[in-house]
Amino acid sequence: MLETVKNDKFFESVGLMQCFRIKERPIPLMYENDSYFAEEVGTTQILRSNILQNKVIKVYAGETRAVLLDAGTEVNGYPRFQFNGGSGSKVNITYFEKFVNATKMIKKTDAENGKIIGLTDRIILDGQNIIYEPFWYRTFRYIYIYIYIQIEAEDEDVTIYVPEYRQTGYPLKTESYVRSSEKWVEEVWEICVRTLENCMMETYMDCPYYEQMQFPMDTRLQALFNYSVSNDVRLARKALEDFHCSMTPEGLIHGKYPSAYGQIISTFSLHYIYMLKEYYNQTGDIDVIKKYLPDMDMILGYYDRKIGKDGLVGGLGYWEFVDWQKAWEKTRGTPAALAK
């Protein structure tokens, strides 16, 4: 039996709480904009179908077809596919950031010499007119986005309509800019802003394509750039609340939060303290910071208890990650002096 998410007057009067409660949303809703693919990519292996021009293509029984589409830049979005007919036909839709080659360096856009590797949705058609859209959004690389559709038509023809997508993300309003006589300077600035925008959803994300997680160290950097391009600090303020809610009785926050399972990266708790300091420096909002002052005491207390006889902080426990560098590759980013 599921309980309600809102307390009745009796529950409130005696301090009883439901397991799941609702409260006012602290950030705006994600935007959704109808968007279209920029062009179709053809190679010696994948011939152009002209689906963008003709708006529809047909795959005849027994055929196999592939369509490769390019959105032009990296986006987060809800792709939409429409099929008609083809009962029993199998459709593979693969979303990926770049073409890869295991034996040599190639450009991310080199479709001729690269392979397609990525997240794949698989659909079996029932012969009816259907529209498929994934429940969760998909993310594609910032230079190009490709969707590879393979149709294995069996008993009857399949009609494929031109795919579209609804681009989505946090409605960040960019209020600063960089101008330069050197074209590359502005291009780098645009890449940085677009990267930030793609990493801002319901939370900050270290990588919207892969993990889609809010790590304190990554989030700190994203929040700092957020302050540089916009006066909207609502997502940064929410991140502070998220990490506060992840505080453990021992005195460390989670290494990523919110998350389906707990993970402690002991060094990341310090970045939460840095985030509090930087939020105050940028906003002057001391009322927000006051709520989290006990968190700082708990974290510093945990570190204090880890000071060894030499006067230095020793093994912190959990994952003592510092940096992904070659010398610490075998210890997963943990300095060799601390590796067990």
Look at residue 144 in the predicted model and tell me its pLDDT. 40
pLDDT at 318 over 80: yes
Omega cis (within 30) before 258: yes
CATH architecture under which domain 183-305 falls:
Alpha/alpha barrel (1.50)
CB < 8 Å & 24+ apart, contacts of 203-211: 203/235, 203/238, 203/239, 203/242, 203/258, 204/235, 204/239, 208/76, 208/139, 209/97, 209/139, 209/140, 209/141, 211/256
Q: Closest by alpha carbon to 148, among 250, 73, 64? A: 64
Q: Which residue type does 30 have?
A: M
- Asked if domains 32-169 and 183-305 share a fold, the reply is no
Q: What fold characterizes domain 32-169? A: Jelly Rolls (2.60.120)
Query: How confident is the model over 225-238, as a mean pLDDT?
Result: 97
- Tokens in use for 1? 């039996």
Give residue 17's pLDDT band: very low, low, confident or very high (50, 70, 90).
Answer: confident
Report which DSSP code applies to 14: T
Q: Which residue type does 112 have?
A: E
**Range in 93-102, 178-187, 210-219, 233-242 with the lowest mean pLDDT:** 93-102
Check if the beta carbon of residue 156 is closer than 8 Å to that of residue 64. no
- Tokens in use for 29? 């809703």
Cα 331 to chain centroid distance, Å, stands at 26
Distance of alpha carbon 335 from alpha carbon 322, whole angstroms: 7
pLDDT at 152 over 70: no
- Tokens in use for 245? 């809610």
Look at residue 213 in the predicted model and tell me its pLDDT. 95
Domain ranges of the chain: 32-169, 183-305
Look at residue 143 in the predicted model and tell me its pLDDT. 39
Report which DSSP code applies to 156: S
* CA diameter of the chain: 77
Question: Each residue of 247-279: pLDDT tens digit?
Answer: 999 999 999 999 988 999 999 999 999 999 999
pLDDT at 39 over 60: yes
- Tokens in use for 267? 């060094």
Question: Each residue of 53-72: pLDDT tens digit?
Answer: 999 998 887 788 888 999 98
